[in-house]
Structures are given as structure tokens and as C-alpha cells.
Structure 1
């Protein structure tokens, strides 16, 4: 193996076409006492080879409890950081270090620090989609699945800053009666969903239930029948067997698990925009999540690289709001 992975952020060493990557990944996991965690937004074949798949909250819980010596996080970089914060004694591997997050990028630690200084007396509630450095400036972390519960648990007169996802914060304000100061950040995938595209799909499939992620804009959430995290969507579909059609407004990777759990149900992904000829058939996908491939996972396990670390001076403060979240949820 050469060292060009340091510049690329991943190892792309080719293997013979006869190699069964899924089988080899499982063999290496057993040999090295490793566990593969994958987010619902990764490719279907990645989800199939993982030991555990889930949303951000479920993955954080799994990372905190696993007995494995090595954690391979197939998601985006901040998720690997979260694993390391919760399991500092374990080796945490990320198949592609360039798998970033537009939402995390929208809130830099130095900018949040300055904003806090401009608003003395405010506590910070940060979405899990943030860097370890931002978490170190945070009082409690939330996910889309537990944000309402966590915010409701805080004193009613507490002055709060919520970031970086404006849409999620706006929704939590609306359902809790809070008036949190909202950071103006967003997910580049969920920002693309439109009411127009949903209305078009609903006209074509009038019996379909519309489900939308809380990172979507308020007008999109307003036309949704089910609003919540990816786990909320999955649970709803599994619990409502009588519903045979759904319109899904979130990253298209979730369709793999939805279809696996509900094989007799039809799921229509909302496209990012309406073309002149109609809705079309394109899906909203996160190019960062899709950077996780079987080859990269195999090479990551084989060479135990790239490894994700967090500076101890940041980690000691960054882990506290995550632990508080897990205690509250």
C-alpha cells in the first residue's frame, strides 16, 4: 500500500474481481474483533454488510455500548468523531475521511464561540450533525429523534441557542413553545425538497402517506402526514401495515431499509426539484454518505486506516453534552 491515501482521505487499493468483498469484510470483522456501523443513508450494499444500521441516535448508543475493539463507522466524519468520543479506548475507522457534512460545515467552532459571547447567559443545544469542536462548546446534544424530548426537559425559562439546523430548530420551537435563538444552517439534501414536488406526487398517488424529515423546510413539513427522524419513518411504516404507499422526503438511502422491512409497500422518493416535464424519477442523495463503498470498507479493515482521533483537549468537553443527551433520552 502506498501513502497516497493520506491525500485522498481513503484507501482505494484494488482487489481481484473474484474477491467477495462482503464475505471478506465479515471475515476481517471476526478476525480483528471489529464492528461495522452504517447510517440509513449509505448505499444498500453497505447496509447489508454492516453489523448494525441506524440513525444518528441509534448509532451513538451502539458506539457507546459495543465491546468490539474496532469500530468502522460508515456514515460521515462527525459520526466517526462521535464514536471516538464515546469509546476513546477503541480504534475508530472511517472508510473515507472526505465524507463530510454540509450541515456540520455550516457551523464553525470559532463562529459559535463568537455567537455565544454575543449572547451571554444562553445555553447551547447542538444538533449531533456538528464537529467535536462545536460539541465542546455545547451544553447538550440532540438528534432529530430526541430533540423535542431533550428541549422539553430543560427549564422553561432557560435561554437557549439551537444550531446548526435552522429547520429542525424552527420545528422544535413550534412544538415546544420555546423561542430558541436559531443558527442559520441547513442540510444541502433536505433543503432541496419542495412542496410543489410533493403535491405533484400526491396527485398521482392520492392514497400515499407523506413522510418528511425534520431537516426539511417548514412548508414541506406542513404538507407531511408524518414528521420525524428516519427511525420515526421506519417505525411508522412497520406499525401501519394497512398503508401500501408512501411519499418519502428524506435522503434516498432510507428506501433500502424501508423496502426490506415492508416488502409489500411502495415508496416514492420525492425528487429534489420539479422539471418541466413533471416530477421525474431522480432522488435526493447525499454524495458524502455514498462515499462509503465495500472496497473502502474492506481496505479500511485490512489496513486499519484511516483512523479517526479527537484531540484530548477537545474530547474532554465534547463528550459531556453527548453523554447528557444519552442520559436524557
Structure 2
């Protein structure tokens, strides 16, 4: 059995009414570790376990580290996760609760990643949070499940950080012969590396991550994500932190599920009736995760003025 579960696919009446079209939700926030990450990371960890690797090392802004820690516990393999200082206290606690060793290092993910890679030994496996073909193959299972349910969307809305989910969804669309289905990529201002790269026609690196959506906090998308953005129909959208937070609150009211601002970016596209949705009747939104944020964290963001 894989380490991930098949998650519900449901049509959202509240979002459909708001957006004036049929909105379908793929609820990967209900995965056991709380995000879609376990699809790819679980597949990669199982592959490395079969190779005889004796320790997993990962860098993460939160969700990937939780997924690696969960997979390591399930496979009885020790895990070390390096996170930056921006990772929420809740995410740190969840990584520790899975039995992993947690190291906090650096102001941003790329600094934590450098330390994690420097720790690799001969018997270790490195679990990159988004730039690994094993991950993309695992994430593609999300689209396999949608295809298995018999619902072909006119477009897919998903959030982009480093690009791992995007790469996996493109792979899933391709292997189900859905190459014609466009992807609407959602990012928050200050974590919008893909949108800026598409606009500049080159893969750029942000000077810093200034968004509260730290789960989107990769300064640069992976090379595969940028390449696929030039091959597959993509419509980039950038929303404010305020819009992402409002969307999270509305989604909690509508569906009793708390998601983090990284996921709120995708939901904001729908709640704010972005013109990018024009012409699409059946829209799939990937509800990617929310376990790294709790209501206390949302209150802190609002006190900072982000939710005003």
C-alpha cells in the first residue's frame, strides 16, 4: 500500500455559486501528514528504502519535512529535517511529533537546503521538497484519481512554490492524455518566482521571500517547472497575502477545513472571480494542504496587518 491515501473529489456548491461555474475540489489537505507532499515523497522514500538507504535527510519550509518525517516513521528509517527560521512553530512541532530530528537554520529555505545537502553520508537519501522526478511521478497520482472518477476538468488551479506539484500535475495530465487541460498557477506576491520567470522568459531567483505564504517560499522554481511552463498551457496569477488569508477564512466557513495561505492563493483565484477563469465551466482546484497553520498563527498574521 502506498503511504498516501486517495482523497475525496467533490463539487463545491459555495465556490461554484461564487465563481459562477462548477468548482471541483481535490482535498489533499486530508492526507495523513496534511498535504499533497506525501504522494511524491512517500513514493520516493519507498524507492530509497528498497535501495537500502538507512537515513532520510530533507530540507523544507514545513509540509515536505512533515511528509518525510511521516514516511520515515512508517518505514522505520530515521529522518533529519532542516527548516529555515520562517517555518512556523506548528510545522516544527509536527515534524518532531513524527520522531524526526529537526534542525532550524537560515533565514530562507535555500540556506536550510544547503546545510541539509552538506550532511549527506554514503547511506543517506536526500529528499528534495520539489525538484526530483520521483516526486513528480508520485504527485501525478492526484490526476490519476480525478481521471478514475470520470471528471475531466476544463482547467486545473494549483499553488506553486518550487514547482513540484505543478510538475506532477503536468505529468498526470500527460499520462491521462489530457495535454489540452490548462493549468492556472497561483502564487502570492513576494513568493511569485514562476510568474516572474514566465514574464521575463527566463528562470529568475527572487531576492527574498516576503510573503507570509512560507510554504511557497522557494526563491526559484525548479528547472523542470520552468521548462514545462513553456510547453504546457499555463495561466499565472499572483494574489496578495490579504486575498489568500481571506480565502482561507471563507473556505473554513464553507467547508470546515482550515488551509494555509499557500493553498489560499489558489482559493483566492476562485473567491475573487479572477478573469483567468473566463471560458472555463468545470474547474479543478487542488486543496494542497493546511496542517502547518493553526488559528493562533492566523491571528498573528492578522495582527501584523496582513488580514486587514
TM over 0.5: no
Pick 1 or 2: higher relative contact order, CA cutoff 8 A, min separation 6. 1
- TM-score with structure 2 length normalisation? 0.30
- TM-score with structure 1 length normalisation? 0.29
